[in-house]
């Protein structure tokens, strides 16, 4: 059972398997980067590898094998001298072949695995009707597979690529070879075609009558306007990579989850007094419990941390039986998205009070306020009662990468669209919408968003460049 696999860190596994020793040769990382990656998808992939190959033995314990939650290592030859490492992050499944042999090269091993895994992913999509898409990316052998990866299409159009992690140029062919050797031999013009798998994932077209009744096109703007109050730079160092996945504002304090560095970043609303709270896990989502306390979900670590931001300490830990993602707090209860497809309502000890059914198996975010629950997947917004009954659904074809959601005092819904660099606002009845903020407002891959209902301010943060913005939101008099 994947959920019963023990947890471990990449560093510990590298030590136990011998990945960082001098006699271990490593290929570049092959990365399947998804718009949304359900954890169950990785479980299917792991099960396939278990059927194909023997799990590698762990050096520190000859009776144990390298099968962990979110990361596995397999022997792909009888000698055990050639291995494949399979792991995942929030939106990426990554593979790397390891060789302890004195022989040079990997032969056709990598390109054969690429072909088989690509076919497997497509088979899983069809078998389980998973409407998800991915792009093929790569990363240098000792690079971080979960950030600053190189898209295959761009690699094949340039002889060299600049690695922001190593601050040097890499030869493009060395990055994608030998994974793509067979692919390029079969299709010499492969580099001219997109590796995005949308052809296998036809869009789930909404019912035309529903669209006509619920999403009437209007020319007037929604009754809100925004004015920039403060632009902030929360990047701790120019050499540091940051993935800011979510944010909140509580009083005069801003809190950001820094996924790549396992920490919370905290500062005043004017950007002053920046400090961090180091964590043992990678934080993904955050919600306010009170002015001094937040709850943070940690994805594949199946853990929720209760943190006092005044004392900068973790006060309690809630262990979840499955991967936990989006999280919201309301009326003494935590609403937690489990594996992207169900919502558990639990108290602050982790006791599950009840579950809420949802209409999507790819929930990206959730917010609960008073008697309404709003959740989003990559292309739709669902507004529900607290028992899960859908009051309205909003969907537009041009919105395919919705990432985070928040609501204001009037019930208007605000969502970030990372791909189009925008914030969209949807009216409280789901009938009207408009782009509220765009790239011209400084947005560059915006992800985190939070509406402070006491001050009528909107906090938005970009995913990677360390920039955040506070906007004053006002209603227009009509």
Q: Where are the domains of the chain?
A: 2-200, 208-279+351-474
387: Cβ contacts below 8 Å, ≥ 6 apart: 356
**Domain range 2-200, its CATH number among 3.40.30.10, 3.30.2270.10, 3.40.50.720, 3.30.310.200:** 3.30.310.200
- Give per-10-residue mean pLDDT for the chain (478 aa): 71 83 88 80 83 82 79 88 89 90 76 84 70 83 86 84 86 86 58 40 39 38 80 81 91 94 94 93 94 92 94 95 91 92 94 92 90 93 94 88 92 92 93 93 94 95 93 74
Overall size of the chain counted in residues = 478
pLDDT given at position 336: 96
Find, among 268, 295, 266, 263, the residue nearest to 282 by Cα. Answer: 263
Both tokens of 276, joined, read: 């961090």
pLDDT given at position 128: 64
User: Per-residue DSSP letters for 44-105?
Assistant: HHHHHHHHHSEEPEETTEEEEESEETTEEEEE-STTS-EEEEEEE-SSEEEEEEEE--SS--
| CB 67, CB 43: distance < 8 Å | no
pLDDT given at position 40: 74
User: Per-residue DSSP letters for 358-384?
Assistant: -S-S---EEEEETTEEEEE-SSEEEEE
pLDDT given at position 190: 45
Separation of CA 6 from chain center? 22
**Count of CB atoms situated within 10 Å of the CB of 81:** 16
- Decide: pTM greater than 0.75: no
pLDDT given at position 184: 65
436: Cβ contacts below 8 Å, ≥ 6 apart: 222, 224, 226, 414, 422, 423, 424, 425
Both tokens of 244, joined, read: 């800011």
Find, among 363, 419, 439, the residue nearest to 135 by Cα. Answer: 419
Separation of CA 35 from chain center? 8
pLDDT given at position 208: 33
191: Cβ contacts below 8 Å, ≥ 6 apart: 152, 153, 156, 157, 184
**Count of CB atoms situated within 10 Å of the CB of 121:** 22
How much is the CA Rg of the chain, to the nearest whole Å?
23
Q: 99-144, pLDDT tens digit by residue?
A: 988 776 676 788 888 888 887 887 777 666 666 678 899 999 888 8
pLDDT given at position 212: 35
The CATH code of domain 208-279+351-474 reads 2.120.10.30
Separation of CA 268 from chain center? 26
Say whether 208-279+351-474 and 2-200 share the same fold: no
């Amino acid at each position: 059972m994947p959920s019963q696999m023990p947890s471990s860190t990449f560093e510990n596994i590298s030590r136990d398997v011998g990945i960082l020793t001098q006699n271990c040769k490593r290929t570049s990382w092959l990365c399947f980067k998804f718009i949304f990656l359900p954890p169950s998808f990785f479980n299917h992939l792991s099960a396939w590898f278990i059927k194909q190959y023997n799990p590698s033995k762990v050096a520190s314990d000859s009776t144990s094998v390298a099968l962990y939650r979110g990361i596995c290592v397999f022997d792909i030859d009888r000698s055990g001298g050639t291995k494949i490492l399979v792991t995942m992050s929030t939106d990426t499944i990554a593979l790397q072949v390891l060789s302890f042999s004195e022989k040079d090269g990997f032969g056709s091993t990598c390109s054969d695995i690429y072909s088989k895994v690509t076919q497997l992913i497509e088979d899983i999509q069809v078998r389980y009707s998973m409407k998800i898409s991915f792009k093929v990316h790569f990363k240098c052998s000792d690079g971080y597979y979960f950030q600053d990866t190189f898209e295959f299409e761009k690699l094949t159009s340039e002889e060299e690529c600049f690695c922001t992690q190593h601050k040097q140029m890499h030869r493009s062919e060395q990055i994608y070879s030998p994974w793509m050797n067979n692919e390029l031999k079969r299709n010499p013009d492969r580099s001219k075609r997109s590796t995005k798998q949308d052809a296998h994932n036809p869009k789930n077209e909404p019912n035309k009558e529903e669209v006509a009744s619920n999403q009437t096109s209007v020319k007037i703007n929604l009754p809100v306007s925004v004015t920039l109050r403060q632009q902030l730079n929360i990047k701790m160092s120019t050499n540091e990579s940051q993935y800011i996945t979510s944010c909140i504002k509580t009083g005069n304090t801003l809190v950001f989850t820094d996924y790549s560095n396992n920490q919370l970043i905290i500062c005043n609303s004017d950007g002053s007094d920046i400090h961090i709270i180091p964590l043992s896990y990678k934080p993904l989502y955050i919600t306010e419990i009170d002015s001094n306390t937040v709850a943070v979900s940690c994805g594949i670590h199946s853990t929720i941390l209760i943190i006092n931001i005044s004392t900068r300490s973790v006060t309690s830990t809630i262990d979840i039986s499955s991967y936990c993602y989006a999280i919201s707090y309301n009326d003494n209860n935590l609403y937690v998205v489990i594996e992207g497809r169900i919502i558990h309502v639990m108290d602050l000890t982790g006791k599950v009070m009840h579950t809420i059914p949802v209409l999507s198996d790819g929930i990206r975010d959730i917010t609960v306020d008073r008697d309404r629950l709003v959740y989003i997947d990559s292309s739709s917004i669902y507004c529900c009662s607290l028992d899960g009954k859908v009051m309205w659904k909003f969907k537009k074809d041009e919105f395919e990468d919705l990432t985070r959601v928040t609501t204001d005092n009037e019930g208007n819904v605000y969502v970030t669209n990372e791909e189009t660099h925008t914030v969209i606002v949807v009216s409280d009845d789901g009938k009207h919408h408009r782009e509220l903020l765009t790239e011209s407002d400084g947005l560059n891959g915006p992800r985190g968003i939070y509406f402070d209902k006491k001050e009528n301010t909107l906090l938005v943060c970009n995913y990677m460049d360390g920039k955040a913005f506070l906007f004053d939101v006002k209603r227009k008099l009509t």
